[in-house]
Structure 1
C-alpha cells in the first residue's frame, strides 16, 4: 500500500448481467488475468460464457457468493467464493482493474467476499491459489488466515495452494 487511507466507499454487490461491460474490461486485460486460471484475454463471447457460468452457479445457492467490486459506485473488479465440485467447498478469488491496484482494495474485497460466504456457510472449506510471482496475493491470503498447502506448476508458473479450514477464523 502507498500510505493512502483505505477506501470507505468500497462495496460488493451481487454479480449480474449488468456488470458485463466491466467484466469484459477486467477479463480482457492481460495484466489482470496474468496470474489467474484464465489462459488468454477474453473477448465478448468468452466474457459472456464466463459470466453465464458464474450466474448459473450462483442461482443454485440461497445467497450470492460472487460479487462486483465497486468503488464510488463504479465497477473496479470482481471477488467472491465460487462453489467447487467438492461438498461445502469454495474457491476464493479477487480480480481488480489495474487502476485500483496498490490501494488495499484487493485485501478489502477478498475479506468482504470471504466474510459474506462464512456468514451463510460457517463450516465451508475455502481454497485459494496465488502465483509465487504475485507476492501481493500471497500476502493477502496469509493475512486472511489461509495456510499454504503446497506448490504446483501450472500454465508455466509456480502456484501456491492455500486453505482456510472450517473454523479457521477469518483474520483482520
Structure 2
C-alpha cells in the first residue's frame, strides 16, 4: 500500500481498492458485512460502476467548484463505496454528494455548535462525501485547497469533539482509514 497526499490515477485507485476489498472481505466477520451483497462478495469488489464525465460535470456545476483530483478520480472508478474504513460503511454517490448544510441540515446545526468551527467558517464550506457510518462523517474542506487542487479531508465523529486529524487529501484520508482497518483487524498475508 502506498500512502499519498495527492491524486491517484484511475488505474492506481482500481488496484488500491481491489486490494483493499480483498483484505476487507478476507478478514471481516460476515456479521460485520451485512450490507454487502452476494454480487459484491463474488466479485471481490466493494465498489460500484464509476461515475461518468457527465455526472461529474453535473456535480461540479451544482457545487460551483471543481472537485479535488483524488476524490474526482475515485468517483470515476467507483461511484460510492462500501466499507471504506472500519467505521465508514457507505460513501455517497456523485448524485448524493452535497455541502454539509444542504445534505444534512440537522448535522450542520450540530456542527455549528463547536465555536472553533464557527469561527473558521468551516461549517459553511465542507462537502459531505459519506452516507452511513458509525456516528462519523467524512468531510472535504473547499476552503483549504493545496497547490495541486486537493482539499483537506477530515472525519467528524461523535466520539471526539471538533474535527479529527487533518488529511492533505481524500486519498490521504482513505490511506489513514485503511491503516486503521489493518491495525484493528490485522492483515492476513
Band the TM-score falls in, shorter-chain normalisation: 0.3 to 0.5
Higher radius of gyration, 1 or 2 = 2
Higher relative contact order (CA 8 A, sep 6+): 2
TM-score by length of structure 2 reads 0.30
Larger strand share, 1 or 2: 1
TM-score normalized by the length of structure 1: 0.32
Higher helix share: 2
